[in-house]
Chain A
Amino acid sequence: MRRGAMIFSGIFLLAILVVLPTSQAATVKPIVIGVPTSLYTPFGRDGLKAVNLAVKEINAKGGVKVGTQRRPFKVVIADTRGGEPNTPVHDALMAYERLITKEKPDAIVVGAFRSEVLIAGMDLVAKYKIPQLSTIAQSPGFQKKFMKDPKKYKYLFRVTTDALVDATYLNNTLDILKKKFGLKNAYFIYQDTLWAKAFSGLMSRHCKKTGWKIVGFDGYAAGATDFSPALSKARESKVQLIGMVWDVPLGAGVFAKQYAAMKVPALLIGFIPPMASPMAVKTLGPGVEYSMSIEFPVGASLPLKKLPKTGDFLSKFKKEYGALPEAAAVNSSAYDAVFILANAIERTGSLNPDKLAAALEKTDYAGVSGRIRFNKQHIAVFGTKDPKKEGVCVIFQWQKDSAGKLKRVPVYPAFLAEGKIQLPPWMKK
């Protein structure tokens, strides 16, 4: 049994090596930022990259001024695993807790990918009193829980958009489509998870109110791999618009390809990550043309001419990592969050969580995604009016430019638009 014994001692050695702290000759104690998130989802992966980018920038300038001393940022990470809803929440919480108790971060950014982890983790963060700027999960459940005990949860902030805001943008676009092209039959498909359902529910309710005819409202399980039932139904019932909200890459990809393949004569709009991604043409082929998608908030993956900050951030990102972020969502929020944190630390001159939380509440920062302030529910104020007053999103459409190359063209809101919404030729009569 010598071999068995050797293997076991090998495993233990490995374990010891992993837990051994790596010694660092640091003269100034860094400010530790924790990034517990689903590191293998595009959102988590790129969010972390954005955080590192921001940290690099700040450290290059000598760090953050805490009182009299300039201290650098240091990023520690924890993988909460899984983009699918079937990875254990307890395990994610355990990762969270390990990060908090072992690495003793002064603040947490990015945070959970899945809404249920964000919401379940709120108690944990409150217990350890660590200011958290979460930038991925969009569930309105955050506000609901926050309002139950604002004092307890005062350390928690959300820098990115809320599903409610995203839906407003889409709704306004729907209004334009109705007015401009006279579309009236709509079909909604959503991934059967909480935020997507809330999101698409808002859209369909809006449609009902404004005189659309809702042909279908179907929830598909996150793991779905065939959308032909909905698509054929849509095709048969002469649907002119398909609204889709999805976040898991797999189903969205199948849908995008199947939609193109089945030639459903309807305009596609919503949030479909692979279709909104800068790589969409390469991944999904030319079928993406005319599809419209929301990017929330601005600057996540699409440089906007009218908001130079988005271009700055994205070109830095591209220079550092060789490619644009994969997903058209939340990356700029992660970048902004670090600066917001630095800003708050400098204002209060302390890392004390209570003071920091109070300073964060007073945040007023002009970031990539617009002007960021927090409301009473500790979520960043987003709107559709003016990036100088609030955070904004953008809706874009895949269009061919003069050279015949597919490009994402911002079409809404007007102050960001670089082109007009085009109706596909196969929809014109």
Chain B
Amino acid sequence: MSLLIYGLINSVILALYTVGFSLTYGISGLANFAHGALYILSGFVAWSLMNAAGLPFAVSGILAVLITAAIGFAFYWVLILRVRGIPLAELIVTFAAGVAILELMTWKGFYGLRYSLPVFVNGGVEIAGVGIDYQRLIVLASGLVLVIGLWLFVHHTRIGLAFRAMAQNERTALSIGIESDWIGALSLAFGAALAAIAAMVVLPLGVMESTIGYDVLIYALAVAIVGGLESTLGMIAGSFLIGYGQIAAARYIGAKWMVIVPLAAIVFVLSVKPSGIFGKFKELEERV
């Protein structure tokens, strides 16, 4: 039972890690390798606001999300725009920017025992004999809300539809008056905001450390690749596979093997079915 529940929570956490990454990729085809860095950056922004400016967590959390979104937006205009359309240069630039952010944070001293965001509600309940804290239930709920909200947003709002048009065909989108650079920048801003939201709900589970950024990136990549990039269904499937895989590996093989699961999954999927579980035919052709 605990396997079931904690597997679910682990999966939702992975989905939260990934949702911003795959939104950005789905809309503008940009694999944002600075995703993990933005995630943890938002955590430290919130922490700084709380501790330096003395704001309550609710306010600083929201501010952190907005600031991260703005950083994502600026990031596009300052850096990505100049290498747009060269996938490899995009990858290297985002990756390098992410590593630079993480190393700068380490250098600034955001590495230690005192960085932690408070949980929303203290305490916990018992479900079917398994102890679970309210924060994890909040993570579960927000994961659900975010995925559904994203679906509604993409399918039922004007800007969401513009996003979809863009995702399907950039040239057509241009011809009906959708500015691709704006959409690209917005997609990165939304991706960054989602990363920040994930950070706000997931980070209170533990303490913060700049190196989390690397892990988040790898988890996001693992989920996105295993499920098939940019497919929402694939993202959900990917996070469940890896999430349960990790918990099961920890329980039945040995806890050390948890970290191997996502890495092995990436390598396995890319070498066997590069388009991922729910990837479409088109992607397969492009990748191989």
Contact = CB atoms under 8 A, between A and B. Distances in A.
Interface string B38-52: 000000000000000
Interface stretch (A133-141, A203-211, A278-286): A278-286
Interface in A73-88: 83-84
Interface string B67-95: 00000000000000000000000000000
A274 interface: yes
Given A219-B255, A253-B206, A254-B207, A261 B114 contact: no
Interface in B222-257: 246-247, 250-251, 254-256
A326 B9 CA distance: 31
B256 A250 contact: no
B107 A283 contact: no
Interface stretch (B132-140, B141-149, B182-190): B132-140
Contacts of B250: 226, 229-230
Interface stretch (A20-28, A50-58, A232-240, A348-356): A232-240
Interface in B104-150: 106-107, 109, 111-116, 118-119, 122, 124, 126, 130-133, 135-136
Contacts of B247: 226, 228-229
Nearest to B206: A254
Contacts of A45: 109, 112
A188 B25 CA distance: 42
A114 to B, nearest CB: 14
Given A218-B254, A228-B6, A253 B207 contact: yes
B2 interface: yes
A253 B116 contact: yes
Contacts of B109: 40, 45
Nearest to A221: B259
B178 interface: no
Nearest to B115: A283
Interface stretch (B28-36, B208-216, B267-275, B279-287): B208-216
B111 A41 contact: yes
Contacts of B208: 250, 253
A256 to B, nearest CB: 8
A13 interface: no
Given A223-B259, A249-B113, A258 B251 contact: no
Interface in B1-36: 2-3, 6, 9-10, 13
B113 A279 contact: yes
A160 interface: no
B116 A250 contact: no
Contacts of A232: 2-3, 6, 130
Nearest to A87: B211
A83 B212 CA distance: 13
A221 B263 CA distance: 14
Contacts of A286: 122
A257 B211 contact: no
Contact of A192 (B107, B135, B251, B256): B256
Contacts of B246: 226
A262 interface: yes
A260 B119 CA distance: 12
B116 A224 contact: no
Contacts of B113: 42, 249, 253, 273-274, 277, 279-280, 283, 326-327
B205 interface: yes
Contact of B255 (A218, A248, A261, A262): A218
B265 interface: no
A233 B211 contact: no
Nearest to A222: B259
A395 interface: no
A377 to B, nearest CB: 31
A264 B126 CA distance: 11
Given A250-B206, A257-B206, A264 B131 contact: yes
A365 interface: no
Given A250-B212, A277-B114, A230 B124 contact: no
A261 B111 contact: no
Interface in A266-310: 273-274, 277, 279-280, 282-286
Interface in A324-381: 326-327
A225 B207 contact: no
A223 B6 contact: no
Given A226-B246, A229-B6, A229-B255, A261 B116 contact: no
B111 A83 contact: yes
B46 to A, nearest CB: 14
Contacts of B116: 253, 274, 283-284
A45 B181 CA distance: 44
Given A42-B112, A263-B131, A273-B113, A221 B207 contact: no
Contacts of B124: 261-263
B154 interface: no
A41 B209 CA distance: 10
A342 to B, nearest CB: 29
A327 B111 CA distance: 12
Contacts of B97: none
21 contacts: A40-B109, A41-B111, A42-B112, A42-B113, A83-B111, A220-B255, A220-B256, A226-B250, A228-B10, A229-B255, A235-B2, A235-B130, A235-B131, A249-B112, A250-B206, A250-B208, A254-B206, A255-B206, A261-B132, A263-B131, A273-B113
Interface of B: 2-3, 6, 9-10, 13, 106-107, 109, 111-116, 118-119, 122, 124, 126, 130-133, 135-136, 204-209, 211-212, 215, 246-247, 250-251, 254-256, 258-259
